[in-house]
A and B are shown apart, each in its own frame.
Chain A
Amino acid sequence: NAGVTQTPKFQVLKTGQSMTLQCAQDMNHNSMYWYRQDPGMGLRLIYYSASEGTTDKGEVPNGYNVSRLNKREFSLRLESAAPSQTSVYFCASSDRGSLPQSYEQYFGPGTRLTVT
């Protein structure tokens, strides 16, 4: 099992450019998440998808859009990149069974994005 995979690993964009970050999981999890990690801020939730066909905003959704393409894949799109979106982006997945106490999240290796 590869677990959670993310592409690309690194990306440099100019202000105003667009790009899509890809995430896939092979654990048959129903929930997927996008977080960003900034120095001094910790990880913050951008968007999540509790199940296939649904997406919801997290703490910092402005400037992003997401697509839950199927159960395996969850993409994050930056339509017009800004320097404030320079960050490390992590995708995660979780198996939402009957008990929320057991929800454990598994993370991908991250995408390091720089916007100049």
Chain B
Amino acid sequence: KQEVTQIPAALSVPEGENLVLNCSFTDSAIYNLQWFRQDPGKGLTSLLLIQSSQREQTSGRLNASLDKSSGRSTLYIAASQPGDSATYLCAVYSGGGADGLTFGKGTHLIIQP
């Protein structure tokens, strides 16, 4: 059974710092990996999708990398801003029987002004 782990569970950094969020998964047979942002009491906003054949994807100040063989992904946030404060979720799509995403528990990020 696929399991997704996100480290750290919580992170608090001063504004302006570059930071890295980590995601690992136990079964490397995935089709893709998605990073989401969730604000308190809100739904999930898709940030980046990395296909299994890709090594990284970029969107603005966000860069996500994927090392499928080692079961790892990182989300790099450059020049962090208070508006980046949210919970970041990593999810993998493996297909197969239960055909949905398998989620990590998230990293709760606070950017201090």
Among the stretches A13-21, A52-60, A67-75, A78-86, the one at the interface with B is A52-60
Q: How far is the CA of A108 from the CA of B38 in the complex (A)?
A: 11
B23 smallest CB distance to A (angstroms): 12
Q: In the assembly, what is the distance between CA of A101 and CA of B53, in Å?
A: 8
Interface of A is mostly: strand
B100 touches A103 (CB 8 A): no
Return B34 CB to nearest CB of chain A, in Å.
7
B62 within 8 A of partner (CB): no
A43 & B99 in contact (Cβ 8 Å cutoff): no
A42 touching B106 by the CB < 8 A rule?
Answer: yes
The verdict on A104 contacting B100 (CB below 8 Å), with A109-B42, A110-B42 known, is no
Q: Return the chain B residue nearest A56 by Cβ.
A: B99
Q: Please tell me if the beta carbons of A103 and B46 are within 8 angstroms of each other in the complex.
A: no
Partner pick for B32 among A35, A43, A102, CB 8 A cutoff: A102
Q: Is the CB of B31 within 8 A of A107?
A: no
Q: Which of B52-93 contact A (CB under 8 A)?
A: 52-53, 89, 91, 93
- What residues on B are CB-neighbors of A102 within 8 Å? 32, 49, 51
B101 and A43 contact, CB distance less than 8 A = yes
- Bound complex: CA A50 to CA B99 (Å): 8
Tell whether, in the assembled complex, residue A90 and residue B43 are in contact, meaning their CB atoms are under 8 Å apart: yes
CA distance A92 to B34 in the complex (A): 13
Q: Please indicate the chain B residues that have their CB under 8 angstroms from the CB of A97 in the complex.
A: none
Question: In the bound complex, how far is the Cα of B106 from the Cα of A35, in angstroms?
Answer: 15
> Which residues of chain A come closer than 8 Å to B89, judged between CB atoms?
42-43
Of listed A41, A92, A100, A112, residue having the most chain B CB within 10 A: A100
Residues B52 and A101 in contact, CB atoms below 8 Å apart: yes
Alpha-carbon separation in the docked complex, A110 to B45 (Å)? 12
The interface residues of chain B lying within 8 Å CB-to-CB of A105 are 34, 46, 91, 93, 100-101
Closest 6 CB pairs of A and B: A45-B100, A101-B51, A107-B44, A109-B43, A100-B31, A43-B103
Residues of B within 8 A of A (CB): 4, 31-32, 34, 36, 41-46, 49, 51-53, 89, 91, 93, 95, 98-101, 103-106
